[in-house]
Structure 1
Amino acid sequence: MLEQIFRDEWSRVLASLVGFFGDFDLAEEAAQEAFVIAAERWAAHGPPENPGAWLVVTGRNRGIDRLRRERLLAHKTRLLDRPVPAEVTIDEAAIPDERLELIFMCCHPALATEAQVVLTLRALGGLSTAEIARAFLVSEDTMKRRLSRARNKIRAAVIPFAVPPDRILPARLQTVLAVLYLIFNQGYGDGRVDLATEAIRLGSTLTGFMPDEPDALALLALMLLHDSRRAARVRDGQIVPLNEQDRSLWNTIQIEEGRALLDRATSLGARGTYAVQAAIAALQTEPQIDWPAVAALYDRLRELTRAPVVELNRAVAVAEVDGPNAALAIVDALDLDDYRYLHSTRAELLRRLGDSAAAREAYRKALDLATTDAERRFLQRRLTEL
């Protein structure tokens, strides 16, 4: 229970503290201390009625104590004059704006693109440094250095904690959308429901803030359509492939909402990667999947991205249209040896072709790279079946 509260509250507590202190490092340290104190106290007495408010107040107190102890620069001492209420009532309507402000701060153009992404994953996603390092295929020490440089840049450039003026919002939007999608994928792929839910919630807030931005609408549609299958993706602790899922478990409300958002995004001119991926996801919710149409959309996505992961996904559609041999030729041409899904996809194709020995070898490689228990159980079952 405590772990779930921490996951639910991390982003809003950090956003509130960054807004209060105007210092990312201080806010993160204060938030971490507040969570440590909460773990000690709540384990014995249970959480308070409003855990988020308690964590914000405790974080503010710890941060102010730190300022006093360390006697920071004079321009920060003005924070000591701010009243610290004994109890904070968190305005739920205001919280998403605070978190959006934090995203826009992390996605400031003064930061390198990769720094924007990793900083937001740490701040909003609540991912550990190790989790972010794994997502970027680098060591934990390397990622620690990158995060440190990004925070130092925020301090040195005096990057504001605020949603930027309307005139420069569009220039910042694409990075914000990319980060939201990364947070969603990290949560959806690794079974972190809290992250996927947070990305959808922030995406919904963003579309309310910018209701006529086609790419924002398309991304929200994409996330909802994928998330609609969440309840069917894991059965008996194992990942369930799309063609084996129990469709009665799919969330039809999310599917309908996602399709409506995609229609609106398309009517506003959405033609980019999110719109194409959302169109693919919408086709996959149909009772009979039109695989030639899916393959055609992946052809378009390949033109837009030139990404090997997209080509890997295209191979899955090609297998349904032209057979596993044609798909295997695509997969074997990709340079993705450290990517677990390449090996699991290749194994599935080899299994369909009847090459059990090669399929077992590919499944073992995928199993070595798997990051969740659900994936491991699925791959182990496939190995056992062979």
Structure 2
Amino acid sequence: MTDLDAVFKHEYGKVVASLARRFGDLDIAEEAASEALVAAAERWGSGAPPNPGGWLTTTATRKAIDRIRRESLRDAKHLDALMIVDDTPADPSGPIEDDRLRLIFTCCHPALAADTRVALTLRLLGGLTVADIARAFFVPETTMAQRITRAKAKIKQARIPYRVPTDDDLAPRLRAVLAVVYLIFNEGYLAGAGDEPVRSDLTAEAIRLGRLLHALLPDEAEVSGLLAVMLLSEARLASRFAEDGELVPLPEQDRAGWDRALIAEGHSLVRECLRVNRPGRYQLLAAINAVHTDAPDAASTDWSQIAALYGQLYALEPTALVALNRAVAIAEIDGPAVALALIENLPLEGYHAWYATQADLLRRLGRSAQARAAYDLAIAATANPGERAYLQRRRGSTAHG
């Protein structure tokens, strides 16, 4: 990714949200922002100006005004759009100082369905493509594209305002904001597409947003839990891939390469959550990661505790994905046959981790031909180069039978 690409990715969502607030039309905002990026690519040459965000916003504003003039939209909006120079005081920024985090709260409007507002925010501000978002929600890309289109149409038709969130807006929007940040991190942690197995730009931005959220809402245990999950996962980064880029699964990682400072910070956050004693999704995920990172080696992992934590999570969030992860822990306690029976009928068709888990359990049971077939499905279902390399090696090492 070039420096200009990074600037465009970082600024695009902010420009769209700024124009949407001003003109009240998301389609115009997106088109104008896209035209501004094209103009920037043509004019900036090899480097961005000192204030790229300001340049893009000004250019996009002019593009939007041109379109409004051409289409002769409502008189009030037309007159407002002609105000190229706005001498009115800047809108208050509310309780959130960071531009990106404030815009995420702005876009997570409660008038939209929970999944829809998360998906739309990821598209506008998260740096994720429609394909990335569809993978995160386990739906076809066309389905996700339709959801996002309908969400934009609802915003336009219902005239849902893009206004700066107040203190009273934070609580009802927090759950969606946490989901946005977590999904940004996940896409970076194991990239769903592209030549690189990890997108460090996304993981770094998600952790930055998590730290800002924790500073803003220090007494929210789920915020602490989310930050802990990300830190404890990021702590293992240096050991997650071999020199040739192949994924190294958790039991095989060199734990000496883990970042002990991040682990200590993550464990401290988990202890904060335990003191509050109001378990939630991210707190339980953080506790599971804490158990893994507390073990000096794979053999010392407390799988009973991990299975119990996944059981608590399933009670809160009874999804097939949680059931799959719980079964992985149960395999270490009760054996692969029990775990395989638990996951065989889960509705996770097309999900690479489901196929990979089946393949590993079948391999451990000595059912080599079925294991190889499951590995084939897992390989076909992932585009991550590090994961594909790992799965191909495991398939190749599965004994014929």
Give me the TM-score of the superposition, normalised by structure 1.
0.88
Aligned partners of 1:9, 1:252: CA distance in 2, in Å?
33
Which of the residues 236, 239, 254 maps onto 1:232?
239
Distance 2:323 2:58 in 1: 49
Give yes or no for the alignment of 1:292 onto 2:293: no
Which one of the candidate residues 26, 32, 35 is aligned to 2:28? 26
1:370 aligns with 2:377: no
Partners of 2:129 and 2:377 in 1: how far apart?
Answer: 25
Three-state SS of the structure 2 residue aligned to 1:237 is coil
Counterpart contact for 2:138–2:351, Cα < 8 Å? no
Q: Are the equivalent residues in 1 in contact too, given 2:14–2:103 (CA < 8 A)?
A: no
Given that residues 132 and 187 in structure 2 are in contact (C-alpha distance below 8 angstroms), is that contact kept between their aligned partners in structure 1?
Answer: no
Distance in 2 of aligned mates of 1:256 and 1:140: 39
Distance 1:162 1:268 in 2: 33
Q: Distance in 1 between matches of 2:210 and 2:68?
A: 35
- Which one of 366, 388, 395 corresponds to residue 354 of structure 1? 366
Q: Which amino acid aligns with 1:183?
A: I
CA distance in 1, matches of 2:167, 2:97: 18
- CA distance in structure 2 between the aligned counterparts of 1:14 and 1:250, rounded to whole angstroms: 39
**Any residues of structure 2 matched to 1:149-160 within 5 Å, and which?**
149-160=150-161
> Which residue identity does 1:240 align to in structure 2?
V
**Which whole-Å CA distance do the structure 2 matches of 1:8 and 1:251 have between them?**
27
From 202, 206, 213, give the equivalent of 2:213.
206
Partner Cα separation in structure 2 for residue 261 and residue 378 of structure 1:
32
Letter in 1 for 2:237: R
Instruction: Report the residue type matching 1:370 in the other structure.
Output: T
Please tell me whether residue 197 in structure 1 is matched to residue 204 in structure 2: yes
Pairing partner for 1:259 from 240, 262, 267: 267
Work out whether 1:169 is the aligned partner of 2:170.
yes
Q: Give the equivalent residue in structure 2 for 1:65.
A: 66
- CA shift, 1:163, in A, is 4.6
CA–CA separation in structure 1 for the residues paired with 2:19 and 2:96: 12
Q: In structure 2, how many angstroms separate the alpha carbons of the residues matched to 1:95 and 1:66?
A: 32
Contact 1:19 1:98 in 2 (8 A): no
1:222 CA displacement: 1.4
Secondary structure at the counterpart of residue 231 of structure 1: helix
The verdict on how the C-alpha distance between 1:270 and 1:33 changes in structure 2, with shifts beyond 3 A counting, is: farther
Query: Relative to 1, partners in 2 of residues 1:292 and 1:112: Cα closer, same or farther, differing over 3 Å?
Result: same
SS in 2 for 1:238: coil
Equivalent position amino acid for 1:74 in 2: D
Letter in 2 for 1:228: A
Give the Cα separation in 1 of the matches to 2:86 and 2:256.
50
Measured after TM superposition, the shift of residue 347 of structure 1 is 0.9
Query: 1:221, 1:262 within 8 Å by CA — same for their partners in 2?
Result: yes
State percent identity of aligned pairs. Answer: 50
Match of 2:288 in 1: 280
CA contact (8 A) 2:136 2:183 kept: no
Contact 1:30–1:62, Cα closer than 8 Å, also in 2: yes
Distance in 1, matches of 2:158 and 2:164, equals: 16
In structure 2, what is the Cα distance between the partners aligned to 1:142 and 1:293?
38
1:148 equivalent in alignment to 2:133? no
Cα shift at 1:375: 1.7
Q: C-alpha deviations, 1:200-255, integer Å up to 9, x for none?
A: 22222222222211112211211221222223222222211011223233233322
Q: Deviations over 1:46-97 (max 9, x none)?
A: 3334443433333233223333333332222313314289xxxxxxxx9963
Q: Which amino acid aligns with 2:230?
A: M
Give, in angstroms, the shift of residue 5 of structure 1: 3.3
Q: Give the one of 55, 80, 83 matched to 2:82.
A: 80
Counterpart contact for 1:120–1:179, Cα < 8 Å = yes
Cα deviation per residue 1:272-312 (whole Å; 9 max; x = unaligned)?
Answer: 11111100011111224222211111121122211111111
CA distance in structure 2 between the partners assigned to 1:26 and 1:154 by the alignment: 13
Which residue matches 1:311? 323
CA contact under 8 A between 2:303 and 2:333: conserved in structure 1?
yes
SS of the aligned residue for 2:227 comes to helix
Q: How far apart are the structure 1 equivalents of 2:122 and 2:159?
A: 21
Contact 1:100–1:163, Cα closer than 8 Å, also in 2 = no
1:48 aligns to 2:84 (yes or no): no
The 1:200–1:19 alpha-carbon spacing in structure 2 relative to 1, beyond 3 Å, is farther
Counterpart AA for 2:161: P
| Cα pair distance change 1:351/1:26, threshold 3 Å | same
Q: Distance in 2 between matches of 1:251 and 1:101?
A: 30
Separation of aligned partners in 2, 1:305 and 1:294: 16
Q: 2:40 aligns with which of 33, 38, 59?
A: 38
> How many aligned residue pairs are there?
379
Checking the alignment, whether the CA contact within 8 Å between 1:363 and 1:383 is kept in structure 2 is yes
Q: 1:90 matched to which residue of 2? A: none
Please say if residues 96 and 102 of structure 2, whose CA atoms lie closer than 8 Å, have aligned partners that are also in contact: no
Q: What is the rounded CA distance, in whole Å, between the counterparts of 1:96 and 1:35 in structure 2?
A: 25
SS of the equivalent of 2:293 reads coil
